Homo-oligomer: A and B are copies of this chain.
Amino acid sequence: MKSETKFELKKIGLIYTPYENTAPYQPVEEKEKEFFVIIDEEFAAGVKELSKFKYIYLIYVLNKSDKTPDMTVVPPWSKGKPVGVFSSRSPLRPNPIGLSVVKLKKVAGNKIFISGADVFNETPLLDIKPYIKDLDSKKDANNGWIEDASDFEHLALHIKGIPHEY
């Protein structure tokens, strides 16, 4: 199987958000709005014990564009400087795979309530993985090229989705 170069994946559910035409650049908590995932019935038993996690990874298909991706992009946080597509979270990438860390609120059968997700409504879900603190929360991580910005502290409020007035 090592020589395979194409892989077929399937939808296992859908992500429901209030975003039809625009979505934020990162998961933002919007307390008045509902964000949830519905897992297809055949996979529903796969969420057993998921509710014990505070955060989960959603892996999904970025299917809103069929443009050919450029290898360099100019993300909103780069202040005009081009960076490689793999150095960015741009939705237009060689494989249209999206990844978000979202806060888990409640699991009710095959419906998973989350507190925010930076994806369009009815985005096809490929996988859910638990976000395991001891594995995934890297205290010594950095913000890469984003820290190059002269107004990084202000930018960080945007990245974290923290409301601010300046």
Contact = CB atoms under 8 A, between A and B. Distances in A.
Interface residues of A, number: 78
B50 A127 contact: no
Given A2-B63, A126-B95, A50 B87 contact: yes
Instruction: Give the interface centre of A66, A86, A148 by most chain B CB atoms within 10 Å.
Output: A86
A164 to B, nearest CB: 14
What copy number does this chain have within its complex? 2
Given A48-B84, A127-B94, A6 B8 contact: yes
Most-contacted residue by chain B among A1, A46, A140 (CB, 10 A): A46
Contacts of A139: 137, 139
Contacts of A6: 8-11
A99 B7 CA distance: 16
Interface string A61-99: 101101000011000000001111111110001111101
Given A8-B8, A87-B52, A138 B133 contact: yes
A135 B101 contact: yes
A29 interface: no
Given A52-B147, A97-B97, A135-B159, 18 more contacts: A7-B61, A7-B63, A10-B94, A46-B72, A47-B84, A48-B83, A48-B84, A48-B87, A49-B84, A53-B145, A54-B138, A86-B127, A89-B130, A89-B132, A131-B138, A132-B146, A133-B143, A134-B159
